[in-house]
Amino acid sequence: MSAEYEYDLFVIGAGSGGVRAARMAASTGARVGIAEDRYLGGTCVNVGCVPKKLYAYASHFQDNFSDAEGFGWQMAGPATFNWATLRDNKTSEISRLNGIYQRMLEGAGVTLFNARARLLDPHTVSLVSQGSETQVTAKQILLATGGWPWVPDFPGCEHAINSNQVFDLQNFPNRFLVLGGGYIAVEFASIFNGLGSETHLIYRGELFLKGFDQEVREFTCEEMAKKGVNLHFNTNIERIEPNGTALNVHLTTGEVLEVDAVLAATGRRANTEGLGLEAVGITLDASGKIPINERYETQVRSVLALGDLTNGPELTPVALAEAMQLVDTHFNKTEPKPLDYATIPTAVFCHPNIGTVGLSEEAAREKHTKICVYRTDFRSMKHTLSGNTERVLMKLIVDDETDVVVGAHMVGEDAGELIQGIAIAVRAGLTKRDFDCTVGIHPTGAEEFVTMREPSRY
């Protein structure tokens, strides 16, 4: 380890990727420091995956109470929802997780600075805390500051909230509007609809979840509409005007919606403002991301970057995997194989859930000469008694030449849980015959993935 610098690695940003890189680098004997000026755990723990999943759990109970009646359960009275209880219990859980992250860093021997960090030169970082500035030097500096919500500019946009703010609303919005068509927009439309809001989703395109399998998008749209989400496609917000304690949202179609809250879930951008990139000569690419090579090095070789700052999937497990690879490369001196970004599974926690891994049907048709599509949709066994009309979609995409399963998709309850296991098979390059030879677990919905014998189309 170099005696020329105070640290061998200094990490800016204590989110999932930054904390993992710091801890793993320290475990090799490296001297590691990390700076965070907001909250430990980053977006995922504080205003992303964790609170979102807790709210998603909460939003399913309305359906669960209704479903229970078909199984003989009688409610003493109508179920009521208390927003403050959910919000405050969520806050307590996040505080607990913040403490765990701090203890993990301390236990690994990482020096934590509660400060705003900025690059001064390729080996020096400025740290500002409570008005005072100090400087530290490091052989290598890792940028891991993640992304930040972006709200489009339109008249009255200041009345919209972003996905960081939506978790801590003072009052529950009985009428809720979401602007956007990505997974965050779709998830929050489902969440607030499930919690009892009259919910609208506004999207400028023809259908939400661009980039996902088309059949998955269409199926999800139908199921969300059945559950009561008001979907408005091919439209946008023209302006928002206050109306007492409410908001009048004027759409480009001429329609006016009166709501209590507007969430602008219109995407996230790399959180690079104030990092001092210009001071060291790092320029962003056309999409506003930091370019890196296979060793996670930026244009300045002593400065590294990973996670949402770079041009990969904006997913917490991706940042964690990249952090492990970065440490192996720079501190364990190994040459790890590049991450296989093509087979990274993901889930959308809307109602019903989406789970997906590998190629969509459309992408598979572009990549492979001929494909076989196996698909099924059905009402799950649970709902034969509940009376719930929700349906499940399962789909396998197979390269006809090699019989390899190149994509798997599901829309239905706990789709993310199920696709995690299927992702292992897709990542391993297993064939449709491997699926066919696997004995199913009966009675489960999951067994459908190994019992689809006849192609639906080619």
CATH number at residue 302: 3.50.50.60
Are 140 and 17 part of one and the same domain? yes
Q: What is the pLDDT of residue 75?
A: 86
Question: What does the block give as tokens for 434?
Answer: 């491997």
Q: How many domains does the chain have?
A: 3
Centre a 10 Å sphere on the Cβ of residue 385 and count the other Cβ atoms it contains: 13
**Stated pTM of the model:** 0.95
Q: What is the pLDDT of residue 2?
A: 60
Are 24 and 166 part of one and the same domain? no
Q: What is the pLDDT of residue 434?
A: 98
Are 258 and 304 part of one and the same domain? no
Structural domain contains residue 439 = yes
Q: What is the pLDDT of residue 379?
A: 96
Are 236 and 370 part of one and the same domain? no
Contact (CB, 8 A) for 277 and 299: no
Contact (CB, 8 A) for 410 and 356: yes
At residue 162, φ and ψ (nearest 5 deg) are -105, 180
Structural domain contains residue 277 = yes
Structural domain contains residue 102 = yes
Are 138 and 196 part of one and the same domain? no
Q: What is the pLDDT of residue 78?
A: 87
CA distance 92 to 23: 25
Structural domain contains residue 346 = no
Are 316 and 244 part of one and the same domain? no
Question: Catalytic positions, please?
Answer: 442
Among 330, 360, 376, the domain boundary falls at 330
Q: What is the pLDDT of residue 1?
A: 57
Q: What is the pLDDT of residue 335?
A: 86
Are 318 and 379 part of one and the same domain? no
Contacts of 450 (CB under 8 A, 6+ apart): 435, 436, 438, 439, 440
Are 255 and 382 part of one and the same domain? no
Are 105 and 166 part of one and the same domain? no
Residues of the chain with pLDDT under 50: none
Are 214 and 302 part of one and the same domain? no
Contacts of 103 (CB under 8 A, 6+ apart): none
Q: What is the pLDDT of residue 442?
A: 97
Helix (H) or strand (E) holding 320: helix 316-330
Helix, strand, coil share (%) of the chain residues, nearest 5: 35, 25, 40
CA distance 231 to 208: 10
Bond before 443 cis per omega within 30 degrees: yes
- Domain hosting 97: range is 7-147+269-330
Are 18 and 114 part of one and the same domain? yes
Structural domain contains residue 456 = no
Structural domain contains residue 376 = yes
Q: How many angstroms separate the most distant Cα atoms in the chain?
A: 72
Question: What does the block give as tokens for 388?
Answer: 């719930």
According to DSSP, the residues that pair with 410 across neighbouring strands are 355, 394
Burial 211-228 (b: 16+ CB within 10 A, else e): ebbebbbebbbebbeebe
